[in-house]
């Protein structure tokens, strides 16, 4: 809006009640315009609920209005009370926008001063700024409870935010639950290692932007349980195999053969992880294959075509073969023996070769199944076209 520099403006003193306590408690309709109407609204709300913080905001808006009117800082001032809806969110903000449009259209104000009873009402600042220039924002909080209200509001908003609650609360809840169980059975030391491992996996997935994998896994397990599919049993098998593999890996890490080697601390840890991998890898492969096999069995029962699952199945097995061959190679190379070194290279070479062949077989099977599906569709379409042409003739 164009006006001369230095000219006085018409200002709205806007008091916002985003959750519509005025309408829900006092039964008043908004927008409420004018000093006397706003004062009456504050009185009615105070008689219904004297502890409502919106009362302080309304009185503060009236005080600012009186100061502006008496000081002559603006050409004209007006106090207005607008409210949203008890369902705070999109519906509430849209109602505030409509009321604000009506008030601005009627008053033709150039600027506004926003008065609110807390940080929650200040979420509507962008809504007001899109319609009129905001000169100032006044937040009214009872002095005795300002720190408490701010802290409570921040915690409330975080807990209500789906992104925060789904990202951070489940891991915290799981950690507290595991700590409680470990305290009962006096296994705090071992459980601490388990918790650190879980946090490491979660942080790794979070850093890679793949934390949704855990949520999707839980959803898949839940759907399998509710629908009575075989894959639920295979998920349980996968958990058992995972725990068994971890147990075997720990045994491999503490192998007496490793303890006899004269190695530095860093080399000992690295080689210990290789022993761990060698002992646990096929258990982990089984844990990865179990859900996939269960899904394939469900697809067979439901008469669905299995296509890309074949490639995934063979790829998992090929990956396990490479990791096993690599771990065997590293262990044999750690021995100062020429024959062991040659044998280690052979393990590595044949494991890589075998993995390539297995992966190739998986891809060929997937292509073959996909080809038969496409061929079947074409035959069906050809048959339909032949029938249609026969009918036309």
SS (HEC) of 207-228: HCCCCHHHHHHHHHHHHHHHHC
What tokens appear for 123 in the block? 């979420």
Secondary structure letter of residue 10 according to DSSP: E
State the DSSP H helix or E strand holding residue 152, giving kind and residue range, or none if neither: helix 146-160
Give the three-state DSSP class for 188. Answer: helix
| Residues 6 or more apart whose Cβ sits within 8 Å of residue 386 | none
| Residues 6 or more apart whose Cβ sits within 8 Å of residue 324 | 278, 281, 282, 351
CA 126 to chain CA mean position, Å: 26
pLDDT, tens digit, 9 for 90 and up, residues 144-174: 455 555 566 666 666 666 666 666 777 777 7
The strand order across the sheet containing 10-17 reads 32-33, 76-83, 10-17, 111-116, 133-139
| Residues 6 or more apart whose Cβ sits within 8 Å of residue 225 | 232
Q: Which residues of the chain have pLDDT under 70?
A: 1-8, 73-75, 118-122, 141-167, 182, 185-199, 201-202, 204-229, 256, 258-268, 376-393
Secondary structure letter of residue 86 according to DSSP: S
What tokens appear for 186 in the block? 């006096």
Virtual torsion, Cα 308, 235, 242, 293, nearest 10 deg:
-30
What tokens appear for 369 in the block? 């199944």
Distance CA 390, CA 6 (A): 87
Distance CA 32, CA 364 (A): 74
Amino acid 143: pLDDT: 54
Distance CA 156, CA 348 (A): 56
In the block, tokens 């609920």 appear at 49
Amino acid 344: pLDDT: 84
pLDDT, tens digit, 9 for 90 and up, residues 176-224: 777 777 677 666 665 666 666 666 766 766 666 666 666 666 666 666 6
Q: Are 195 and 175 in contact (CB under 8 A)?
A: yes
| Residues 6 or more apart whose Cβ sits within 8 Å of residue 11 | 68, 74, 76, 77, 78, 109, 110, 111, 112, 113, 135
Amino acid 111: pLDDT: 86
Secondary structure letter of residue 12 according to DSSP: E
Residues composing the chain: 393
Q: Are 266 and 244 in contact (CB under 8 A)?
A: no
Amino acid 26: pLDDT: 84
Q: What's the helix, strand, coil split of the chain in %, to 5?
A: 75, 10, 20
DSSP string, 292-323: HHHHHHHHHHTT----HHHHHHHHHHHHHHHH
Distance CA 58, CA 71 (A): 20
Residue 244 CB-half CA count within 13 A: 12
- Paired sense of beta strands 76-83 and 32-33, if any: antiparallel
What tokens appear for 356 in the block? 């390539």
Amino acid 123: pLDDT: 74
Which candidate, 375, 250, 273, places its Cα nearest to that of 330? 273
């Amino acid at each position: 809006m164009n006006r001369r520099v230095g000219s006085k403006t018409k200002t709205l003193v806007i008091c916002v009640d985003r959750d519509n306590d005025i309408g829900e408690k006092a039964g008043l309709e908004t927008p409420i315009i004018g000093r006397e109407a706003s004062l009456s609204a504050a009185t009615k709300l105070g008689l219904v609920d004297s502890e409502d913080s919106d009362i302080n905001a309304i009185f503060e808006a009236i005080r600012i209005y009186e100061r502006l009117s008496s000081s002559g800082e603006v050409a004209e001032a007006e106090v207005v009370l607008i409210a949203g809806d008890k369902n705070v969110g999109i519906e509430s903000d849209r109602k505030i926008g409509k009321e604000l449009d009506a008030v601005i259209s009627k008053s033709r104000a150039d600027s506004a001063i926003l008065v609110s009873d807390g940080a929650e009402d200040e979420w509507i600042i962008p809504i007001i700024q899109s319609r009129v220039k905001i000169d100032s924002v006044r937040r009214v909080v009872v002095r005795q409870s300002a720190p408490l209200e701010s802290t409570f509001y921040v915690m409330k908003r975080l807990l209500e935010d789906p992104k925060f609650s789904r990202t951070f609360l489940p891991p915290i809840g799981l950690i507290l639950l595991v700590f409680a169980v470990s305290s009962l059975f006096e296994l705090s030391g071992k459980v601490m290692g388990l918790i650190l491992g879980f946090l490491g996996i979660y942080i790794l997935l979070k850093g890679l932007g793949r934390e949704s994998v855990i949520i999707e896994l839980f959803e898949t397990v839940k759907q399998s349980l509710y629908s009575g599919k075989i894959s639920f049993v295979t998920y349980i098998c996968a958990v058992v195999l995972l725990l068994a593999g971890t147990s075997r890996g720990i045994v491999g890490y503490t192998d007496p053969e490793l303890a006899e080697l004269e190695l530095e601390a860093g080399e000992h840890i690295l080689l210990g992880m290789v022993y761990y991998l060698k002992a646990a890898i096929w258990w982990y492969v089984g844990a990865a294959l179990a859900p996939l096999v269960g899904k394939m069995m469900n697809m067979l029962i439901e008469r669905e075509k299995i296509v890309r699952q074949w490639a995934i199945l063979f790829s998992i097995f090929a990956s396990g073969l490479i990791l096993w061959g690599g771990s065997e190679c590293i262990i044999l190379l750690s021995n100062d023996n020429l024959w062991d070194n040659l044998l280690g290279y052979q393990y590595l070479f044949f494991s890589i070769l075998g993995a390539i062949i297995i992966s190739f077989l998986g891809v060929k099977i997937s292509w073959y199944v996909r080809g038969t599906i496409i061929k079947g569709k074409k035959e069906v379409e050809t048959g339909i076209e032949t029938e249609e042409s026969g009918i036309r003739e």
